[in-house]
Structure 1
């Protein structure tokens, strides 16, 4: 239990596609089963947290259900979408691009190629509303977070932190290394649903004309 209002089911501590598939399958199975008292289900890299109303939920029965569902082989296909995100790399939009190139001992052009080549999995959405945690990043450009985070990262900034890459949906403090910026709105409160990305989706980045080469 996480306090008296949430249950967390862990599948290890790895950032791994197969672990993510199990997490999302459990979340989908709980939604499909619809046990009483469940308020929300939040998947993360390697766990699913089920938020409950302790006055309505049969906690013991829910525990048994979750243990059974978590142990079942993954047979269901979770829904997913492919989202293409145009990015202007470098310049004022990507102030850390050259630092990433130095870290990787390669050219800026190669950093852009290495970042746009993969089809990234959306492992989870969090930190800020609509912030997608994507991965895995090519190990050659998996630069650590900044030692001194910025106080204000512009909305739409695309950053790298280790094997993760992501998009800042709003202006916020942040320590990820910024390599570009997109006009795509990761979060829009007037959109339904507000978050563009969902766990299980896939993302590709595309360099737009004028990106640093």
Structure 2
């Protein structure tokens, strides 16, 4: 694994810096969950960090003269050291069907013009890449994905939209992502998926998790309507 650093985050959390290797991050999270210790509250993955929240009062009872931060840092180092260099995170591979362009992707033509490409070339570049979910943020279930081709990296819009439909696939700078819920936003919308990315009533509300591998699959508007209807049932 790359070098890992620890730093306090307030008086009830430790932030682990994991550089840009998100799959190592998922492996660390899995290991912490398996070796859960007294006082652990929550593990929150970030783009290049993992923040481990703990109850300092519960830790104080068992920290044997160390500060709560020192004790939790020690426990986390022990847990991470047990992983071993040979172990790798086995990520889920998820296919996201997307209908590109038209009313579902109103900014596709703008992205194409910005890069002096055809719309079809933008679609091919977007759909030919393998992406990794680095974190879920901004809105419940919103995945920040790495892996976008620099050939279609496009600045965010100067004026954000006040309404973006759920399932919209966008490009913002060097990242691509999917809006799981209706919301405002400033990314360039190039298509839409019929899949439900966030269901608050499900046992696991977010379809995507940090560490997942994603591929986009172009579909027609008719296929989009059929899949969208199937999602309702």
Which runs of at least 4 in structure 1 moved beyond 6 Å after TM superposition?
none
User: Aligned-pair RMSD on alpha carbons?
Assistant: 1.8
> Which of 160, 172, 180 is the aligned partner of 2:171?
160
CA distance in 1, matches of 2:134, 2:86: 19
SS in 2 for 1:178: strand
- Highest Rg: 1 or 2? 2
Work out whether 1:64 is the aligned partner of 2:74: yes
Contact 1:145 1:161 in 2 (8 A): yes
Structure 1 match to 2:54: 52
* Matched residue, 1:128: 139
Give the secondary-structure state (helix, strand or coil) at the position aligned to 2:32.
helix
Distance (Å, rounded) in 1 between the aligned partners of 2:9 and 2:163 = 32
The within-5 A match list for 1:1-213 is: 1-12=8-19, 16=20, 19-57=21-59, 58=63, 59=68, 60-69=70-79, 74-210=85-221
CA–CA distance in structure 1, aligned partners of residues 36 and 205 of structure 2: 23
Tell which has more relative contact order, 1 or 2 (C-alpha 8 A, sep 6+): 1
State the Cα distance separating 1:78 from its structure 2 match.
2.5
User: Does structure 1 retain, via aligned residues, the 8 Å contact 2:24–2:89?
Assistant: no
Contact 2:148 2:174 in 1 (8 A): yes
Gaps of 5+ in 2: 1-7, 223-233
Deviation digits for residues 46-66 of structure 1 (CA, Å, limit 9, x no counterpart)? 110111122212422111122
Whole-angstrom CA distance in 2 between matches of 1:133 and 1:73: 28
In the TM superposition, residue 2 of structure 1 has moved relative to its aligned partner by 1.7
TM-score by length of 1: 0.89
In structure 2, how many angstroms separate the alpha carbons of the residues matched to 1:36 and 1:94?
48
Structure 1 residue 70: Cα displacement: 5.0
Gaps of 5+ in 1: none
Name the CA distance, whole Å, in 2 between partners of 1:144 and 1:73. Answer: 40
TM-score (norm 2): 0.82
